[in-house]
């Protein structure tokens, strides 16, 4: 009789599976290039393909074939596979990756393909500066406003386009630290030495050759300047933010404000402000709200209105956009913030002594600059400038906090125009969705409560994306402003702290329109969606907050 019982295999205790380390994007990319593996679809290689196809795929010497996960069945990808097999190139089954990872693959391949004839130390410096230019070039192709480089356990590069930040590339920590140092070394205006644990600002002006480079490597032709802000951060090593200023936002020198998003109501107010020969007009908003662009377009239109029979002098740090017919005075010979303020005030004083009819001050950033700007307005000039403030009424509060005397702020013969604006993402007209298809959402219920059936019938929300908007559901941004032409009553109420009464007086007696009301008008025209209004103006069923 056979002995019964369990076998040794049955007696074994089940083993808990060993969890594999989580694969990172940086680790995958290192494997692609392992053992000297080269990317044969890189621009300049023996395999010639067009740029549109290159943006969708990558083929290595060992046959690794990477394809953008959003373009699996794109005809260009399928045609490339046929071409590769026809040329008897090794090509494996496609591996589908994100477009960000694909961009990073090409960035690293470009770096590896650089000239290796120089010494190692000098080579690393030159290559990192080339990486700096490549990142800027990629951002410029997408018209990115800001590039954020965060160096912690790894390096992440975010692009801000149309007001939204998106992770674009990822590298290791060492690359990021070298990149930040190279960005500082490439600046034309900066402190003498880079200090990792200090807050530092710098500027790169125009397309100048890189320091130490034997070639003619330039910034993209459409990038007028780059503002660099270096910050130490907790739980990381560096945080660099680069603001890109474009030279071709208005290549024809147009004074067209309508194309920025201004409606007839705002265009009429701007026309009236330009017709006033004296006094101060200020355009406000947070960073990235389009203040400089609006100011430039308005200055061009002002010169056109006056048939260029006037002297317009600008003081800017630095000049961001060209204004044909104006004398634009740059403030560039400063190495730190203290010197910058000193040189800015010096340039502003010089401009006041240069027989101006109209003056434009790039930004009021200090009490001294504010006092000189008001001096120009008091001496019979038309003055235009920008300021960081939350709303049009808040411009007065901001100036008062800076130390400007209340009796000056209370004079309607000096304060002529208070303008505030925001940039709202514009819905793609081809894939937007009627809001009545989203009736279960809370925001839609607030819409119905505020605007009734009329609001429901005329409002849209962002769609899923299509070929016309690149799958984003939005296409560009539009400017939404609020404009105040104050009188003495409005200014008195504001100066005395009666902000709510001042707003009610402006909207009721001066026929004013708040930012929220201007945005709702554009929403009912199908240009922007409900979420975008609530993002910038608060919930639809709330009163405006000032």
Show me where the domains of the chain are located. 25-112, 120-246, 258-421+482-512
CA distances 334 to 1, 182, 486, Å, are: 100, 21, 37
Closest CA to 30 of 180, 181, 179, 174: 174
pLDDT in tens, 219-236: 787 787 888 999 988 877
Confidence of residue 66 (pLDDT cuts 50, 70, 90): very high
Considering the segment(s) 258-421+482-512 as one domain, its CATH architecture is 3-Layer(aba) Sandwich (3.40)
pLDDT at 250: 62
Averaged pLDDT for residues 395-406: 94
Q: Which residues contact 266 (CB under 8 A, 6 or more apart)?
A: 257, 481, 483, 518
Query: Which segments within 209-341 are labelled E, that is strand?
Result: 223-231, 238-246, 279-284, 312-316, 327-330
Say what the pTM is.
0.71
Pair 42, 110: CB distance under 8 Å: yes
pLDDT in tens, 275-306: 999 999 999 998 889 998 999 999 999 999 99
Q: Tell me how far apart the alpha carbons of residues 274 and 257 are, in angstroms, rounded to a whole number.
A: 13
Strands 415-427 and 279-284: parallel
The yes/no answer on whether domain 120-246 falls in CATH 2.60.15.10 is: no
Confidence of residue 10 (pLDDT cuts 50, 70, 90): very low
Stronger pLDDT, 435 or 330, i.e. the higher one? 435
Confidence of residue 148 (pLDDT cuts 50, 70, 90): very high
Q: Tell me how far apart the alpha carbons of residues 543 and 480 are, in angstroms, rounded to a whole number.
A: 18
Q: Which of 97-106, 128-137, 328-337, 502-511 has the highest mean pLDDT?
A: 502-511
User: Quick check: 540 pLDDT over 70?
Assistant: yes
CA distances 69 to 44, 90, 102, 142, Å, are: 25, 21, 10, 20
pLDDT at 470: 83
User: Quick check: 112 pLDDT over 50?
Assistant: yes
pLDDT in tens, 352-389: 999 999 999 989 988 988 999 999 999 889 999 999 99
Q: What percent of the chain has pLDDT over 90?
A: 47
pLDDT at 122: 56
pLDDT at 123: 55
């Amino acid at each position: 009789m056979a002995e019964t019982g369990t076998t040794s295999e049955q007696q074994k205790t089940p083993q808990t599976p060993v969890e594999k380390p989580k694969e990172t994007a940086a680790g995958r990319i290192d494997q692609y290039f392992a053992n000297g593996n080269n990317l044969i679809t890189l621009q300049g290689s023996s395999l010639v393909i067009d740029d549109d196809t290159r943006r969708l795929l990558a083929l290595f010497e060992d046959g690794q074939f990477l394809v953008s996960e959003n373009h699996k069945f794109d005809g260009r990808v399928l045609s490339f596979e046929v071409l590769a097999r026809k040329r008897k190139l090794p090509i494996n089954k496609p591996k589908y990756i994100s477009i960000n990872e694909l961009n990073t693959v090409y960035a690293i391949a470009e770096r590896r393909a650089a000239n290796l004839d120089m010494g190692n130390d000098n080579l690393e410096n030159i290559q990192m500066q080339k990486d700096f230019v490549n990142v800027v070039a990629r951002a410029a192709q997408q018209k990115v406003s800001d590039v954020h480089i965060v160096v912690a356990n790894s390096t992440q590069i975010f692009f801000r386009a149309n007001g939204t930040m998106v992770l674009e590339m990822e590298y290791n920590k060492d690359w990021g630290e070298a990149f930040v140092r190279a960005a500082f070394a490439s600046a034309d205006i900066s402190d003498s030495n880079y200090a990792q644990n200090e807050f530092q600002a710098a500027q790169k002006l125009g397309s100048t050759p890189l320091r130490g480079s034997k070639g003619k490597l330039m910034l993209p032709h459409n990038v007028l300047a780059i503002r660099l802000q270096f910050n130490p951060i907790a739980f990381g090593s560096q945080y660099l933010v680069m603001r890109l200023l474009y030279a071709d936002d208005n290549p024809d020198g147009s004074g067209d404000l309508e194309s920025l998003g201004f409606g007839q109501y705002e265009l009429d107010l701007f026309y009236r402000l330009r017709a006033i020969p004296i006094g101060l007009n200020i355009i406000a908003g947070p960073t990235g709200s389009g203040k400089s662009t609006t100011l430039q377009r308005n200055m061009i239109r002002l010169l056109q209105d006056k048939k260029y029979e006037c002297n317009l002098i600008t003081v800017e740090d630095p000049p961001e956009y060209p204004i044909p017919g104006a004398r634009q005075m740059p403030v560039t010979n400063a190495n730190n913030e203290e010197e910058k303020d000193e040189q800015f005030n010096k340039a502003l004083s010089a401009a006041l002594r240069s027989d101006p009819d109209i003056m434009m001050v790039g930004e009021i950033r200090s009490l001294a600059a504010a006092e000189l700007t008001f001096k120009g307005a008091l001496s019979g000039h038309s003055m235009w400038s920008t300021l960081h403030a939350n709303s049009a009424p808040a411009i007065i509060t901001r100036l008062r906090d800076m130390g400007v005397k209340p009796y000056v702020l209370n004079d309607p013969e000096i304060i002529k125009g208070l303008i505030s604006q925001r940039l709202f993402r514009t819905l793609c007209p081809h894939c937007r969705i009627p809001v009545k298809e989203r009736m279960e959402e809370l925001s839609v219920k607030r819409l119905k409560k505020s605007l009734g059936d009329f609001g429901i019938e005329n409002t849209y929300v962002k769609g899923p994306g299509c070929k016309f908007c690149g799958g984003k559901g939005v296409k560009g941004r539009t400017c939404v402003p609020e404009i105040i032409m104050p009188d003495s009553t409005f200014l008195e109420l504001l100066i005395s702290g009666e902000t709510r009464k001042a707003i009610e007086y402006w909207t009721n007696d001066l026929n004013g329109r708040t930012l929220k009301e201007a945005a709702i008008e554009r929403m009912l025209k199908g240009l922007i969606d409900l979420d975008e209004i609530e993002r910038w103006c608060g919930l639809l069923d709330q009163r405006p907050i000032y």
